[in-house]
């Protein structure tokens, strides 16, 4: 009888872990994604913001579009937990929720114009940014 109870408890715990497996968040994975990026802010800054966004006249330099400066010295503080000017009901980056982050909507063109204007980023790059946000949008 006692062994049957232990067996049932083990099965219940196993189902619990299986059901919650996709909700378990560990430390950010430093393994490069298919895009060649890691889900780390420093990599996103170097490979996306510096290259595609922080140019003069866009989101860097002396003229900054939509009051958003994505240059290396400013971008994190301009993004994380800051209300979007275009959609004030959303944060630009809502740590832990890429689905509620206006940045992802802009990158995907979901209900708004797509950024960068030169063309949508690859799905792999957007997925790396989503992973960074979903893991807490750490300044790493």
pLDDT in tens, 62-87: 666 668 899 999 999 999 999 999 99
Query: Is the Cβ–Cβ distance between 136 and 25 less than 8 Å?
Result: yes
**How remote is the C-alpha of 76 from its chain's centroid?**
12
**Would you list the DSSP string of 51-106?**
III-SBTTBBSSSBGGG---STTTHHHHHBT-B-SSSTTSBSB-TT-GGGBHHHHH
Band (94; pLDDT cuts 50, 70, 90):
very high
- Provide Rg for the chain, Cα atoms: 19
So where are the chain's domains? 32-134
Predicted structure pTM score: 0.73
């Amino acid at each position: 009888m006692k062994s049957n109870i232990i067996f049932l408890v083990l099965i219940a715990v196993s189902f619990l872990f299986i059901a919650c497996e996709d909700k378990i968040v560990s430390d950010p994975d430093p393994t490069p994604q298919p895009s060649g990026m890691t889900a780390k802010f420093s990599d996103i800054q170097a490979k996306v913001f510096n290259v595609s966004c922080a140019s003069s006249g866009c989101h860097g330099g002396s003229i900054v579009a939509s009051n958003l400066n994505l240059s290396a010295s400013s971008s994190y503080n301009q993004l994380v937990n800051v209300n979007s000017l275009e959609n004030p009901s959303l944060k630009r980056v809502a740590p832990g929720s890429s689905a509620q982050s206006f940045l992802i909507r802009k990158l995907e063109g979901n209900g708004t114009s797509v950024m960068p204007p030169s063309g949508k980023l690859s799905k792999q790059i957007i997925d790396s940014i989503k992973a960074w946000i979903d893991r807490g949008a750490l300044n790493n």
